[in-house]
Structure 1
Amino acid sequence: MAGLDKPRVILLGGPTACGKTALSVQMARQLGAEIISADSMQVYKGLTVGTAQVTPEEMGGVVHHLVNFLDPEVPYSAADFVEQADACIRDIHARGKLALVVGGTGLYLSSLLDGRRYSLTPEDDGLRQSLCARLEAEGEQALYEELCQRDPQAAEAVHPHNHKRLIRALELSISTGQTLAQRNAASLPQEKPYNSLLFCLSDPDRARLYERIDRRVDVMLSRGLLEEARRVWENRDHYPTAAQAIGYKEYFPFFAGQATLEDCTAQLKQASRRYAKRQLTWFRHMDGVVWLDACDPAVCRLAVERVRQEL
């Protein structure tokens, strides 16, 4: 491989409930690697059940980074992840070990792999307040149509019902004078920062994957998901990221007395299945993915052999 001085990095992605945690620990133990979590929700302290955080027992003695370290009141973004994960990778590399980055947040993995550097565009409180006032007066469709005119690509990535993202997309367009494509192009380095190998773990039987997702929701409920979701609901104004997470927001109607527990659980299972579908779509669009069958008993051996051949 070219660039032998670059840190060696293994990335393992895949849809929710496909077994990434168990496989990553097995691989790390065989390769002497340390694991970096690439999950947008597992960073939060105290939110262990709904985010499917790896437990101390599941870690199997393997060092894990970027898990359970941030207060839920603190927002967390792809820019934060890329900066912190890169620091972890370079520290692991300096100690002569492999970094194994594991998670289902495709944006995090692709941004890290590409070496994307997000420009820290200052938030314009005056502009944001103006856009919020316009949203109230003119409605979401008017602002969405303006975004379509200014930046069609950004509009494709934003649902008009998601007012927070709609306002932010317009704010960036107006304040920078650039489109999303222009900002993305400016954020990429001339060459990728790592010698990397990207795996995606999945169950090729979609129905079986969905059954795994449904079973995991039931297990989470037995482990205290509802109590954790209630805490997020009670602090929803102070937990800006967690309050939007799949696994918590589906139970808000139950806590508000607007839906039954059974209906909310069904909604969670459906939302999780849809999320898995989006995750698979994301990974299919990434270059150089090595696909792994979650049901293959030799999956760990095959992955480890591939790493030893290429890295």
Structure 2
Amino acid sequence: MSNQLPVINLMGPTASGKTALACELYEQGKFELISVDSALVYRDMDIGTAKPTKAELEQYPHHLIDIISPLEVYSAANFVEDAGALIDDMHSRGKIPILVGGTMLYFKALLEGLSSNLPSADYAVREVIEAKGGAEGWEAVYAELCAVDPLAGQKFKVSDKQRIIRALEVYKLTGKPITQLQAEQPKNLPYRYTFHNYALMPDRLELHKRIEKRLEIMWEIGFLNEVEELMIKYDLDGNLPSMRSVGYRQAVEFLRNSDKSIVNRKEMEDKALFATRQLAKRQYTWLRSLQEAHKFTTYFTIKQAQEDLRNCYG
């Protein structure tokens, strides 16, 4: 395998324009695209994930889209294994991989490797933790974490629900703090790759406008119908990772637990909009964290990125 060809990581928050940019680069003929998105892996989840259309995917093929059902689980470890095999294959054929998406955990795992021997997710354990959060409040769950893993308590905030759940899950499964296990375990660093990291980070106000427009279109073209069909086709559980995707959780709750009135629908749409903005906020935070550890080129406008990347790889 060649060590000379780069791996291009094109990161950005939702609705930042990164997919359109990757597709533009693809047209040059020397690239192949790998999706880095924890929601696009699921079949039949199209509108709510802003998945490229079938026509777009025929014109701009993306690897790691539509690879599992919404009932299955896809982890960062799965992604690193699959992406690594794809990158090696592309390099062997003289192609340059472009990894494009907004799931920063996947990018982090690819850039830094994964701690080995940490237990896999246990959804029964997670359900108990989430039930406590619902019954007693997340302050109580956070206090439990601080008691068993003070270092994790210092690193996390009460609002970091997924990280708190994972840390408590690991402790309940192993009897050891996750911070201790992470410190003890070696990481498998992918030294054989030369990463070129690019971040699209538009102005927050501009991004919020794009998000709002995207969601308006999503409702107009039938997102609720898509979720209803998913609920019929699959025996969906609200704790499934697929249903934690922004928009889907709010839509499922609306369809299952409301009278579907105009007032309740508006409330659901507002919740989905807020959740999407919060996702973008977390993505900005992840990007800044990655930028502290790795070399990055950051673009604040699509035009700036287009001009620079054309010069770099044109």
TM-score range, shorter chain: 0.7 to 0.9
Distance 1:290 1:5 in 2: 21
The TM-score, its normalising length taken from structure 1, stands at 0.83
1:169 Cα deviation (Å)? 2.5
Residue type of the partner of 1:290?
T
Distance 2:18 2:219 in 1: 20
The equivalent of 1:172 in structure 2 is 170
Residue type of the partner of 2:271?
Q
1:294 is the counterpart of 2:294: no
The TM-score, its normalising length taken from structure 2, stands at 0.82
Distance 1:5 1:161 in 2: 38
5 Å-filtered alignment, 1:115-264, equals 115-116=113-114, 118-119=116-117, 121=119, 128=125, 135=132, 144-155=142-153, 156-157=155-156, 159=158, 162=161, 166=164, 168-174=166-172, 175=174, 177-180=176-179, 182-183=181-182, 186-189=185-188, 192-203=191-202, 205-232=203-230, 235-237=235-237, 240-255=240-255, 256-257=257-258, 260-264=264-268
Q: Deviation per CA, 1:70-105, whole angstroms, max 9, x where unpaired?
A: 111101111111111111111111111111101001
The equivalent of 2:51 in structure 1 is 53
Change (3 A) 1:71 1:149: same
Distance 2:140 2:62 in 1: 46
Q: Which runs of 5+ in 2 are unaligned?
A: none
| Contact 1:14–1:104, Cα closer than 8 Å, also in 2 | yes
Secondary structure (helix, strand or coil) at the match of 1:260 reads: helix
Residue type of the partner of 1:146?
E
| Contact 1:39–1:103, Cα closer than 8 Å, also in 2 | yes
The equivalent of 2:97 in structure 1 is 99
- Supply the RMSD in Å over aligned alpha carbons: 3.3
- Aligned residue pairs total 301
Distance 1:168 1:198 in 2: 28
Residue type of the partner of 1:280?
Y
Secondary structure (helix, strand or coil) at the match of 2:297 reads: strand
The equivalent of 1:22 in structure 2 is 20
1:295 Cα deviation (Å)? 4.0
Give the share of equivalent positions with the same residue, in percent. 31
Secondary structure (helix, strand or coil) at the match of 2:28 reads: helix
Q: Deviation per CA, 1:147-199, whole angstroms, max 9, x where unpaired?
A: 2133234444475895x865552342351635336426624236634101011
Secondary structure (helix, strand or coil) at the match of 1:25 reads: helix
1:257 Cα deviation (Å)? 1.3
Secondary structure (helix, strand or coil) at the match of 1:304 reads: helix
Distance 2:243 2:99 in 1: 25
Change (3 A) 1:129 1:46: closer
Pick which of 167-176 and 263-272 moved more.
Answer: 167-176
1:244 Cα deviation (Å)? 1.2
Secondary structure (helix, strand or coil) at the match of 2:27 reads: helix
1:119 Cα deviation (Å)? 2.9
Q: Which runs of 5+ in 1 are unaligned?
A: none
1:145 Cα deviation (Å)? 2.5
